[in-house]
Amino acid sequence: MPQLTSTYLKEHLQSLHNTIENQSFLLALSGGADSMVLADLFLKAGISFEAAHVNYHLRGEDSNLDQQIVEDFCKEHNIILHTYDVSEKDNKPENSIELWAREIRYHFFFRLLEEQQLDFIVMGHHLNDQLETFIINLSKASGITGLSGIPENNNKILRPFLHITKVDIYKFAEENGVSFREDHTNQSKDYLRNQIRHDISPEMEKTNPHFWENFDKSISFLNQAKNFIEEQLQKILDDIIISETNDELILDKEKLASQSDFVRYEILKKYGFTNPVEQQKIFEADSGSRFKGNTLNLFIHRDQLIITPRNISEEETEQEIILIPDEPISIPEKMLLSENKLNLKPYWEIDLQKVVLPLKLRKAKSGDFFHPKGMKGKKLVSKFFKDEKISILARQKVWLLSDSEENVVGIINYRQDGRFLPENNNPKIYLYL
């Protein structure tokens, strides 16, 4: 195992980011041994930094004493300290306290990175944390990514202690007179991580005198395997991608379907579709089907999978815009409904006696049909889209003109419904597109 020294810290930071020269760091200081030893080593290595502390006020006076030890340290060494006091506005939940606290601190840390123009957050996670995370992820069947553990360098977060055991951190603190406070809630077994820490990790450590060294090597091998697999997956994905823009990714459905279950799962997981049952449905679904992810939508269009942002979502699909005569609109399209014939083109003429006002703009619904101008008979709007070769993505942007009884008066910028064309001397209303 590596020896915990300022030289090790400096060299390891260098290995994580090529160079630490001219880089600025924000250290997350909780007041515990891990973070206070990290701060002490930064000082010994001559690396300047700012510090951040979150007081959750979950442990009464103990929380304030944690903050005090961090404040005293920073004051003694002239370190800029940023603190965040959790209050009622942070809406503490009854459950999932750990997740809630994690979201608060990371939001605070990343806000400081931007505001203070700093480069990296540095945290004191160590090898024992790595083992606990490994076991938790093992119990969740999280795959090789989860089993690879906590990353050392990810999303502007550096964790230089991941090869160091908790025992070595305590030993360094004792030998170098580093002050810290122990969080007594760590002794509680109310949380899964604490149960692993007190009941499982010690037993695993007894199995082999070189357990920690071997576990550290195993995590390294898993990370190498993960990196190799990700490289191969990217090569496969590059072959499957038909086109890619900021608004749309198109995959070859047949090529993806021909891959193994593992490859299909990993590629769709990249876009937020992680449920194996839902994934199977994607490959069995008919053209026109849609699947909703947290941030993305996936559309089936013939032999293609079209993935788009959720800004084209069901909420927008359900939106309606009432058209008021002589009040122009510019969203979603520039148009004007008027009872007067203006010198503007193009326009639709609509027989006022054939529609039930008010007219409105809306998105297409299942079962919508109309009678396209110049054609005989009715046609499903979905069939019109298909015949006109309007892509799934483009369909989400198309608006229909309908009356208050949901009759489709026309498909904006495509075709008017012939049933509502003026007859004889009936009064007319004009839609200027």
Nearest-angstrom CA–CA distance, 315 and 136: 37
What one-letter code names the amino acid at 343?
N
Q: Contact 389/378 with Cβ under 8 angstroms?
A: no
Nearest-angstrom CA–CA distance, 380 and 373: 14
Are the folds of 6-207 and 320-432 the same?
Answer: no
* Predicted pLDDT of residue 401: 94
* Predicted pLDDT of residue 83: 96
**Backbone φ and ψ of 195, nearest 5°:** -60, -45
What are the sequence ranges of the domains in the chain?
Answer: 6-207, 231-313, 320-432
pLDDT tens digit sequence for 4-17: 999 999 999 998 88
Q: Contact 363/318 with Cβ under 8 angstroms?
A: yes
Cα torsion for 349, 355, 358, 364, to the nearest 10°? -90
Q: Binding site for ATP: residue ranges?
A: 30-35
CA angle 318, 320, 321 (to 5 degrees): 160
Question: Bigger pLDDT: 247 or 199?
Answer: 199
Task: Give residue 241's pLDDT band: very low, low, confident or very high (50, 70, 90).
Answer: very high
Q: Binding site: residue ranges?
A: 30-35
Task: Give residue 188's pLDDT band: very low, low, confident or very high (50, 70, 90).
Answer: low
Question: CATH assignment of 6-207, given 1.10.3720.10, 3.30.365.10, 3.40.50.620, 3.40.50.2300?
Answer: 3.40.50.620
* Predicted pLDDT of residue 189: 66
41-45, 47-51, 287-291: which range is least confident on average?
287-291
pLDDT tens digit sequence for 347-387: 999 999 999 989 999 988 888 999 999 888 999 998 898 88
Long-range contacts of 241-249 (CB under 8 A, 24+ apart): 242/304, 247/308, 247/309, 247/393, 248/306, 248/307, 248/308, 248/393, 249/306, 249/307, 249/308
For domain 231-313, give the fold. 3.30.465
Q: Contact 330/361 with Cβ under 8 angstroms?
A: no
Closest C-alpha to 134, from 209, 194, 215: 215
* Predicted pLDDT of residue 187: 66
Q: Residues 6 or more apart from 18 whose CB is under 8 A from it?
A: none
Q: Contact 73/81 with Cβ under 8 angstroms?
A: no
pLDDT-above-90 percentage for the chain: 59
Question: Bigger pLDDT: 316 or 128?
Answer: 128
Closest C-alpha to 256, from 96, 103, 271, 245: 271
Q: How far does the chain reach from its first CA to its final CA, in angstroms?
A: 73
Question: CATH assignment of 320-432, given 2.60.40.2700, 1.10.530.10, 3.50.40.10, 1.10.3860.10?
Answer: 3.50.40.10
* Predicted pLDDT of residue 339: 86
Q: Residues 6 or more apart from 91 whose CB is under 8 A from it?
A: none
* Predicted pLDDT of residue 315: 47
Statement: the pTM of the whole predicted model exceeds 0.95: no
244 token code pair: 């890619």
Q: Contact 362/320 with Cβ under 8 angstroms?
A: yes
106-115, 128-137, 178-187: which range is least confident on average?
178-187
pLDDT at 392 over 80: no
Q: At what angle do helices 33-45 and 6-17 cross, to 10 degrees?
A: 90
Question: In the sheet that 400-402 helps form, which strands lie side by side, from edge to edge?
Answer: 320-322, 360-362, 400-402, 408-411, 415-416
